Amino acid sequence: MVAIPQRLPHFCERQSSVWGRAEYGGNSSAVAPLLEEGVVQVSGTAGAFAAIKENGIVVTWGDAACGGNSSSVAPLLTEGVVQICRTAGAFAAIKANGSVVTWGRADHGGNSSAVAPLLTESVIQVRGNDAAFAAIKENGSVVTWGDAACGGNSSAVAALLTEDVVQACGNDIAFAAIKANGSVVTWGDAEYGGNSSAVAALLTEGVVQVC
C-alpha cells in the first residue's frame, strides 16, 4: 500500500509511505530517496507501483515483471508524464505531448509495439482492465492493445471506434466506450460485457455515463 499525505507545514511535502509484502511493492528502499517529496500520483498493478512526481518523472518499484522495473523505458520517463494507468501486470503513462509509454508484462499491455505509431501523439485518455488498455485520441478514435481476449483486440468493432469516442471504461476483461451521439460500443470477453447485443437497441443513443 502507498499513502501520500497532503502538504503539511514543517514536514516534507508529498512524501510517500509504503507497507506490505516487499516483493509486491511494500519495500521501496531501493528508490526511497526519490519518494521523499514531490509525489503527486501513485498507481499500482497486482505487484508493483509507479509514482509520478511534480517534475513529471516516474519512479517504479515492486515486482519487476509487473512493472516494478521500468529500465527498458527509463529515458522516456524522466520528464513530462502527466497520468499513469495500469492493468494487473503493466503500466501505461501519458506524457504532456500526448504520447504513451508502456512497460510491464507484455501480455497485459506492457508491450504496445504493435500500435506504437498510433501512440506517439494526441492521446488524451487511457483506460485499463485486468490485461488490456484502451486509449482515446483527440480525434475520438480508440487504440487498443494487450490481451486480445480481454479487449486488447477491438477489430470486431473497429469501424465504430474511428471517431467521436468521448469516454471509455473497463471492467475485469471487457471495455465499453461512449460516443458523442450517446451510443455505446463494447468489446472484450462476451461474458463480462464485451457483447452487448442483447441490449443493443437500448444503447444507440442517450447514454451519458458508463461505469
Burial class of residue 123 in the structure, from the number of CB atoms within 10 Å of its CB (0-12 exposed, 13-18 middle, 19+ buried): buried
Say which CATH architecture domain 1-111 belongs to: 7 Propeller (2.130)
DSSP reduced 3-state for 85: strand
pLDDT at 50: 98
Greater confidence (23 vs 67) lies with 67
State the average pLDDT for the chain: 92
Task: Check whether 164 has a pLDDT greater than 70.
Answer: yes
Q: State whether the Cα torsion 195-197-201-202 is positive or negative.
A: negative
Could you tell me the three cell numbers for 99? 504520447
Q: How far apart are CA 148 and CA 108, in angstroms?
A: 10
Show me where the domains of the chain are located: 1-111, 114-211
What mean pLDDT do residues 8-13 have? 36
Q: 9-18, 63-72, 110-119: lowest mean pLDDT where?
A: 9-18
Buried b (16+ CB within 10 A) or exposed e, 133-170: bbbbbeebbbbbbbbeebbbbbeebeebbeeebebbbb
Give the model's pLDDT for residue 211: 82
CB atoms within 10 A of CB 62: 28
Residue 28: pLDDT band with limits 50, 70, 90? confident
